[in-house]
Structure 1
Amino acid sequence: MTDTALVAGGGGFVGSHLCDSLLNDDYDVLCIDNFGSGRPRNVEHLLDHPRFTLQEADIRQPSALPPVDEIYHLASRASPKDFTDFPVRIALTNTEGTRNLLDHAVASDAKMLFASTSEVYGDPEVHPQPESYTGNVNIRGPRGCYDESKRFGETLTVAYEREYDLDVRTARIFNTYGPRMDPDDGRVIPNFLSQALGDRDLTVYGDGSQTRSFCYVDDMVRGLRALMEARGLQGEVVNLGSDDEITIQELADAVIDVADTDSEIVYRSLPEDDPQRRRPHLGKAREELSYEPSVSLQKGLKRTLDHFSEER
């Protein structure tokens, strides 16, 4: 009997790749998206697939959903530029929306995976960040609508696991990139690639010494699938991403090299609450999931650049 997976936010960048992966493994896939930040073009290649169903809906509002076996909750705006424009929608997606999906998981007796974020660690005082670290978040800052709602979303999953014995797992996703990102997303890799393709200078905020760890989308989807399928992880939280840490200056140099552009680097003021260092501790993922990112930054940037070129 074929399993059915619900992917909330399935029209988004990571969600659409997850839909592809599930369909390739013979799942029936119900994709739910209101296309607030997801894009219809991300799933248009799936519309004629016999095991794919697209339901345009908003998870903040309860709606009639069929019984499913697995629920992946990836629905939320995640671009920093949206934190200013859509703070209430973001906060409610990760709280009310999470509650609605948890209720459906209980009703369906389904397993659920909640896509949390490295942003729950805020501007970390512990490095690298293990799952046991509770973070340093400014709950009233411009990023608070996202950071704190994801934190409360995690609290909800733990409450449902304790009260209803629901099998729900949480992935703390670190910076992920790849094809189908919105070129106007506002995050650093699409910003740099779009600027390089347009022969414009690359904008670095601050002095470029702040660090990030970037994970290619195929590696992230593999991690999400492994976390959902692993035995004995009910109620657990696991970091997913790459632990190859580089500075933003080094990233800008890498993009200029991959794009073979004459673009220069210009510097602007650092946004408020922008974290200085970010790298996951992946010990738990390696031990419990045999997880190991495999796509190099150079190879991933080239694939993403090629995709952005095709979209221009």
Structure 2
Amino acid sequence: MKILITGGAGFIGSHLAEQCLERGDEVYIIDDLSTGGMDNIRHLKRHPKFVYYLDSINNVQLTAELVDTCDIIYHLAAAVGVRLIVESPVNTIETNVRGTEIVLGLAAKKRKRVLIASTSEVYGKRDHVPFREDDDLVLGPTVIGRWSYACSKAIDEFLALAYWKEKRVPTVIARLFNTVGPRQTGRYGMVVPNFVRQALSGQDITVFGDGHQSRCFTHVSDVVQLLIGLAEHPDAVGQVYNIGSNQEVSIQELAYRVKALAESPSKVINIPYEQAYEEGFEDMMRRVPDISKIRGLLGHAPKTSLDEILYSVIAYERERMTPGFAVSAAAHAL
């Protein structure tokens, strides 16, 4: 098949590109490198079925050509990460909503199949877990910038479902829960790579808040397999699916597990949210997905354990700290 991945130089996009290439697909990516990076795809550049464009999906002419060329579009381009969302709310809203509008509008002309990557953030402040795809969404006030991301991704979902209902564009929505693995950056607030890098360098491992907030972490290799399964399954069209693990862990416990697995002398310390982000910052206390719907469709769900996930990130970050990492990693991948 011919595959288009928007945001393909990002963490998840680059792993998805690898998986598609391994099974023989032609892969086209477009990425403006605002949160992605060339290091994520450098090892793919020599592959005969890999084509990349360093540009924005707001370049409608180029994006239209790519949409026309490909059979399936994975729309992963988005503003991501709590820190980026808090610091750049205008960019967050415009990037997410405008980009999705462009992709869906172009896909509608040829009724190309589109998978929209959404987020568990859309569940907002719900305190009843696990989260089901048909649950009500509970967002915070508009004066708290954190919720602009959740709202913008909810609009993306409404747009995708509207294009299916009104224009018969075959769309499917994947709500991702805390995907982690090698190549993820901690620059925008992602907790696992930040904890691992702090542990390996002997710095304090910084937990925001009291650490009682909990998350469920999923390895990127599990996520991309499920994304491909959703994008290609005829019964997934017009539906929303959670993608995540239901293995819940508190952030405080996560910090101590990283410390132990990395055999680190680092101390675990707590920092108030106001110091880490901004005054009045609100967090989701629990994020646990109900994954029965995707398991019922595809027959499987994420299987990588939390310790295996952490070991993979620790091994990657250790190698990354060695001289000549970029060269050796690319050579190994090729």
Normalised-by-shorter TM-score class: over 0.9
**CA gap 1:276/1:183 in 2 versus in 1, 3 angstroms:** closer
Q: Which of 33, 41, 44 is residue 43 of structure 1 equivalent to?
A: 41
Q: Say whether the 8 Å CA contact 2:127–2:285 is kept in structure 1.
A: no
Q: Say whether the 8 Å CA contact 2:246–2:289 is kept in structure 1.
A: yes
Deviations 1:215-251 (A, max 9, x none): 0110111111111111212110000010101111111
Aligned to 2:220: 217
Aligned to 2:299: 290
Distance in structure 1 (CA, Å) of the matches to 2:79 and 2:193: 15
Unmatched segments (≥5 aa) in structure 2: 275-280, 322-334
**CA gap 1:301/1:194 in 2 versus in 1, 3 angstroms:** same
Distance in structure 2 (CA, Å) of the matches to 1:86 and 1:69: 33
Q: Which of 165, 176, 189 is residue 192 of structure 2 equivalent to?
A: 189
Report the 3-state secondary structure (helix = DSSP H, G, I; strand = E; otherwise coil) of the residue aligned with 2:34: coil
Unmatched segments (≥5 aa) in structure 1: none
Report the 3-state secondary structure (helix = DSSP H, G, I; strand = E; otherwise coil) of the residue aligned with 1:35: coil
Quote how far apart the aligned CAs of 1:49 are. Answer: 0.9
Quote how far apart the aligned CAs of 1:29 are. Answer: 0.7
- Structure with greater proportional helix content: 2
Q: Say whether the 8 Å CA contact 1:69–1:108 is kept in structure 2.
A: no
**Counterparts of residues 69-218 of structure 1 (less than 5 Å):** 69-138=71-140, 140=142, 141-218=144-221
When the two chains are superposed, the root-mean-square deviation of aligned CA atoms in Å is 1.3
Quote how far apart the aligned CAs of 1:310 are. Answer: 2.0
Quote how far apart the aligned CAs of 1:18 are. Answer: 0.2
Distance in structure 2 (CA, Å) of the matches to 1:232 and 1:157: 16
Distance in structure 2 (CA, Å) of the matches to 1:155 and 1:186: 27
Greater than 6 Å deviation, 4+ residue runs: none
Question: Structure 2 length as normaliser, TM-score?
Answer: 0.90
**CA gap 1:183/1:120 in 2 versus in 1, 3 angstroms:** closer
Q: Which moved more, 1:84-93 or 1:277-286?
A: 84-93
Report the 3-state secondary structure (helix = DSSP H, G, I; strand = E; otherwise coil) of the residue aligned with 1:54: strand
Question: Structure 1 length as normaliser, TM-score?
Answer: 0.96
Q: Say whether the 8 Å CA contact 2:130–2:288 is kept in structure 1.
A: yes
Aligned to 2:324: none
Q: Which of 8, 11, 19 is residue 10 of structure 1 equivalent to?
A: 8
Deviations 1:15-58 (A, max 9, x none): 00000011111111111100000011000111111111101111
Q: Say whether the 8 Å CA contact 2:204–2:266 is kept in structure 1.
A: yes
Identity of aligned residues (%): 36
